[in-house]
Structure 1
């Protein structure tokens, strides 16, 4: 296989009908009747998702910032990088990442790069995630910090050596997909001397038709 051909392709199939099955606070569930050509017509149920950003905030000592947050569907308090939904109309992904880093970690960053993009569950959700590497870390002044509520109200935060975070992923102690993808990608970037980093606004194959913004 030629190296240039090893890439996902935008390849939409005709949608004959869409049925909105559920409309929730954060995302919706839809059923599409899809024409696969010779393979016939099928119905596919999926989560219609806004997309999300994740931030690997790394300081000069190669430590990354993690938060521990309750995740109800898996009944666990998970260690994860700061993250959030792309649900603000007109807000760019990197600006959303800046906002989430401020709100969840009380941190700022002067240097932003795209680290890795992924689909957490392309067979059942339209969610696309972009993970940023944020460096040049500073602290948000105490009087400008975000007041966290709901599951975020008792969220813990900690700086952890990147090597220790990678070990926790590989040992099966950390399970969040954002942590698995983010920490392994950050380790790969570091080993390359950060040559693999892309611009913060690099092209992104994010499903356009499923953006649900407020």
Structure 2
């Protein structure tokens, strides 16, 4: 049982159940610029099923909080939704040698020119479990200080930065004025965690079984 799991009625714990269906085939059917589409066959319920899904490296996001519990947000253009979204600093886990924490530290420096002394895991989530394997970890970072400015290009070249109170972010999420999932989920989690004296925060190196790379070895292909 997870250390932070609450036992409900009749000893029931609400928690996802890890499962590994035997994989009989796996191939990349679209080699994308950022991520791929993979086709897999797997045995489930006595039959072989086949599914296509986006094979995603996963990502980290950072809720950088100051002493007044203001969160630093950026506004960045996102082409698929034709919008300049408010969101926390974030980035892909596309460096094999990096831990999630190291990736978060890199992204905080690259996107908002900050580093932090204090790091905790706020919450983990999977974005679209029926269509991709993207897993995102949101960190809380405190004890902030500036570092030399990073040269940004592409969609990051004209990013706007703004400190926003956690309460104002909470109201914007509930009113659907902001749509970025890491901002929405992170804001709700941070608002709830603050109400509990931040007791729900977890160690920065906490286990992350939902991410394929940190779950363990990839199982060998099964026979049909």
Scaled by the length of structure 2, the TM-score of the pair is: 0.88
Measure how far apart 1:19 and its partner are: 2.4
In structure 1, how many angstroms separate the alpha carbons of the residues matched to 2:183 and 2:199? 21
Measure how far apart 1:131 and its partner are: 0.3
Map of 1:21 onto structure 2: 29
Map of 1:63 onto structure 2: 70
- In structure 2, stretches of 5+ residues that fail to align are 1-8, 217-224
Please state if 1:165 is matched with 2:178: no
In structure 1, how many angstroms separate the alpha carbons of the residues matched to 2:164 and 2:27? 45
Map of 2:221 onto structure 1: none
Once the two structures are superposed, residues 110-140 of structure 1 have per-residue CA deviations (whole angstroms, 9 ceiling, x without a partner) of 1000000000111101111000000111111
In structure 2, how many angstroms separate the alpha carbons of the residues matched to 1:196 and 1:63? 19
Once the two structures are superposed, residues 176-204 of structure 1 have per-residue CA deviations (whole angstroms, 9 ceiling, x without a partner) of 00101111111111111011000000111
- In structure 1, stretches of 5+ residues that fail to align are none
Measure how far apart 1:41 and its partner are: 1.7
Which aligned pairs between 1:104-123 and structure 2 lie closer than 5 A?
A: 104-123=111-130
Q: SS at the partner of 2:182?
A: helix
The list of structure 1 runs, each at least 4 consecutive aligned residues, that deviate by more than 6 angstroms after superposition, is none
Q: SS at the partner of 2:183?
A: helix
Measure how far apart 1:8 and its partner are: 1.5
Scaled by the length of structure 1, the TM-score of the pair is: 0.92
- CA distance 1:209–1:91, change in 2 (3 Å): closer
Measure how far apart 1:3 and its partner are: 5.2
Map of 2:195 onto structure 1: 191
1:52–1:129 contact (8 Å) kept in structure 2: yes
Alignment: residue pair count: 207
Measure how far apart 1:18 and its partner are: 1.3
1:55–1:81 contact (8 Å) kept in structure 2: yes
- CA distance 1:164–1:87, change in 2 (3 Å): same
Once the two structures are superposed, residues 1-45 of structure 1 have per-residue CA deviations (whole angstroms, 9 ceiling, x without a partner) of 65563222220101111121111121110111111033x221111
